[in-house]
Amino acid sequence: MGIRRILRLALLSLVGLFVLIQFPPYGRAHTNPPVTAEPQWDRRGTRELAAVSCFDCHSNLTEWPWYTNVAPMSWLVQRDVDEGRDTMNFSTWDRPQPEADGFFQVIEEGEMPPSTYTLIHPSAGLDDAERKELIDGLRATFQTSPPIPGGGEGGEEGE
């Protein structure tokens, strides 16, 4: 078997695999449930920073660009949004926010927004001053409009 034939077979196999992975339905739900309650923000600037850097994964106001319809990217984005909404959701402030206590630390350590997100959305990246402004604003917001603690597995059953 010649090298050209092997390369052609490999390319056709990759194209076939790409087509096949488009069929599983996961990653294309793209739901934005209704906003039931937002925090009482300390000021508009805090909400604006949170909207740019956090809302795509941590709210029900997710923007779903075209690439969120193409696997495997759709799978990764869907997983990030599902996990983000489960840990902290600024659109359901009237429900428990399981990870509210650790939210400041991941921002301070530069883990949020994640680099995989800011690579595609550079405007979501925070410089040191913006990071401090967001953390200070969220601390003030959480003092006047604290998140409901708790949640987790099965926390919403029976409602």
Q: State pLDDT tens for residues 96-148.
A: 998 887 889 999 999 999 999 999 999 999 999 999 999 999 999 999 999 98
CA-to-CA distance for 128 and 22, rounded, in angstroms? 40
pLDDT digit string (tens) for 56-88? 999 999 999 999 888 888 888 999 999 999 999
| pLDDT at 153 (0 to 100) | 44
Residue 155 has pLDDT above 50, yes or no: no
Residue 20 has pLDDT above 80, yes or no: no
- The DSSP bridge partners found for residue 92 are 37
Select from 81, 82, 87, 96 the least CA-distant residue to 36: 96
| pLDDT at 91 (0 to 100) | 97
Per-residue confidence band for 36, with pLDDT thresholds at 50, 70 and 90 = very high
| pLDDT at 17 (0 to 100) | 77
| pLDDT at 151 (0 to 100) | 57
Question: 3-state SS string over 57-90?
Answer: HHCCCCCCCHHHHCCCHHHHHHHHHHHHHHHCCC
- Rounded to an integer, the average pLDDT of 42-62 is 97
| pLDDT at 159 (0 to 100) | 36
Averaged pLDDT of the chain:
88
